[in-house]
Amino acid sequence: MKHIFFDLDRTLWDFEKNSEQALNMLYEDLKLGNHIKDFDTFFKSYKKINAKLWNSYGSGKITKAVLRVKRFEDTLKSFQVDAPDIANQLAEGYVAISPRQTNIFPNTHETLQDLKKEGMELHIITNGFKEVQFIKLENCGLLNYFDVIICSEDVGKNKPAPEIFTHTMNLANAKPEESVMIGDDLRVDVQGAERVGMTGVLFDPHRYYNERAHEWRISDLSSLPEIIPFMK
């Protein structure tokens, strides 16, 4: 194996921790406690609504612009708060604050350094919004590890569409049989990559999936350099 392709959110960049930190700041700044009894209740509702809308965005049912605001409109409405102005402030504030949070998964730097030392070429394939993904990478000191960084907006297709994988491999001058894709989503990242001939690795730090979910399943990034030599 020569080329290692990574998902970003929930694989290298700890999306849940960073999102919670950013929203906690906004909850306080916008005095949402006047409308919603506590932050944990607000965040729990937001996560559920956001996940549902991201699925709609991933399947092309809604646009990025709709997603950005609707996730907050719907969250507020779940608490009987009809406040478009607050939803817009949340949307703008979240995009400004969230990508600047710097929580990454344990052993991220060490793993990327080890892979580079082994002569691997590293790349990113992400469904995240382009204007924030580069901020995340730069603020966490990860940007310089990667040769090719592709966001779904560059291709007009979201993972697991084959076009985004083949486009990125073409840019990296990589062949499927020498390429590994690692991500936290079995369907989107792993199976999507495997459909174009790449080897998929499931990153499952919280052990959401059954142990038999996939041949290559790791819970710590440091395991990645150890298993790559065994891949055919």
Instruction: Round to whole Å and give the CA distance between 224 and 36.
Output: 42
Largest CA distance in the chain: 57
- What pLDDT does 59 receive? 85
Amino acid at 56: S
CB-based burial label for 18 (10 Å; 0-12, 13-18, 19+)? buried
- Cβ neighbors of 138 (< 8 A, separation 6 or more) are none
Q: How far is CA 92 from the centre of its chain?
A: 19
Amino acid at 218: I
Q: Is 41 left (phi over 0), alpha (psi -120 to 50) or beta?
A: alpha
Crossing angle of helices 39-58 and 64-77, in 10° steps, is 150
What 3-state DSSP class applies to 56? helix
Q: Please, what is the average pLDDT of the chain?
A: 96
Q: Tell whether pTM > 0.85.
A: yes
* Interval 212-228: pLDDT, tens: 889 999 999 999 999 99
Instruction: Round to whole Å and give the CA distance between 215 and 220.
Output: 15
Q: Tokens 């919603």, residue?
A: 36
Task: For the domain made up of 15-100, give the CATH fold.
Answer: DNA polymerase; domain 1 (1.10.150)
Residue 197 structure tokens: 């001939």
Ordered by start, the domain boundaries in the chain are 3-13+103-230, 15-100
Residue 93 structure tokens: 């504030």
Q: Tokens 């932050």, residue?
A: 39
* Interval 103-155: pLDDT, tens: 999 999 999 999 999 999 999 999 988 889 999 999 999 999 999 999 999 99
Instruction: Round to whole Å and give the CA distance between 70 and 87.
Output: 8
- Is 3-13+103-230 assigned to CATH 3.30.450.20? no
Instruction: Round to whole Å and give the CA distance between 87 and 77.
Output: 10
- What pLDDT does 58 receive? 83
Q: How far apart are the first and last CA of the chain?
A: 8
Residue count (the chain): 232
Amino acid at 21: Q
DSSP symbol at 188: I
Evaluate if residue 232 carries a pLDDT over 80: no
